[in-house]
Amino acid sequence: MSKYKTHAGLSALVFALSAPHALADSASELQKYLNTTQSLSASFTQSVRQKSGKTENSTGQFQLVRPGKFKWVYAQPYNQEIISNGQQVWLYDLDLAQVTIKPVSKALEASPAAILTGNNNLSKSFDLKSLPSKNGLDWVELSPKNKDGSFAQIRIGLSKGQLDRMELDDQFNQTTTIQFSKLQQNQPIAASVFNFSPPKGADIIRE
């Protein structure tokens, strides 16, 4: 089941007198983006850098409707789907013919998915900190208040107020970078996208 985990340093001290305004803007831009996003779809490339320095890459697409509904499809190197209808989450490994089912509250609490599909109350689960701009992006750091979760720190990069990149540091000293492309915001997405029935013969695991 380890394949299902979205295994998530910005050096700072860059700005001087202009820093307060720049830093305040990145956090407010993220909140504004979430407040105005009802649905979102995009392609992504994901890179996981392990503690040893080894990197694993994958690609896929996702769709979401806030709050709580989403579908992440990994096409390479493994065929996997992660689907939520707002009440429960299915993790389907096509190669293993295995489906893991868990309540959405358990799957989303203080997780990266909670940022994009939650109810906008980020301060309930995260401590937010604006960071200096880097590589043309405005960055916001989110530190989970629950220190027992999978992720130690999350960073979100915005380009002109739009979602561009996520960086996630997990408790195993691995860093996951997700680069988004072809984003479509607030376009209609059929409710059927977020329904899932385990295929006949698949192994079912409930958590």
Residue 153 · residue 142 · CB < 8 Å: yes
Average pLDDT for 39-47: 95
pTM of the model: 0.81
Average pLDDT, rounded, for the chain: 83
First-last CA distance in the chain? 12
Task: Provide the residue range defining the domain that includes 48.
Answer: 43-206
State the Cα–Cα distance between residues 91 and 138, nearest whole angstrom.
32
Where residue 61 falls among pLDDT bands split at 50, 70, 90? very high
CATH of the domain at 59: 2.50.20.10
Average pLDDT for 99-125: 78
State the Cα–Cα distance between residues 161 and 158, nearest whole angstrom.
5
13 within some domain: no
User: 8 versus 165: which is more confidently predicted?
Assistant: 165
36 within some domain: no
**For 127-166, what is each residue's pLDDT tens digit?**
899 999 999 999 999 998 887 777 889 999 999 999 999 9
Average pLDDT for 161-178: 92
6 within some domain: no
pLDDT of residue 50: 86
User: 16 versus 201: which is more confidently predicted?
Assistant: 201
12 within some domain: no
11-15, 51-55, 148-152, 156-160: which is most confident: 156-160
38 within some domain: no
Residue 99 CB coordination number (10 Å): 21
Question: Do β-strands 98-103 and 203-206 pair in parallel, antiparallel, or remain unpaired?
Answer: parallel
Domain count, the chain: 1
Which ranges constitute the DSSP H helices of the chain? 19-35, 104-108, 112-117, 122-125
pLDDT of residue 109: 60
φ and ψ at residue 92, rounded to 5 degrees: -115, 115
* In the predicted structure, residue 15 carries a pLDDT above the cut 50: no
Where residue 111 falls among pLDDT bands split at 50, 70, 90? low
29 within some domain: no
pLDDT of residue 110: 54
pLDDT of residue 155: 96
105 within some domain: yes
17 within some domain: no
pLDDT of residue 77: 84
Average pLDDT for 12-30: 47
* In the predicted structure, residue 184 carries a pLDDT above the cut 70: yes
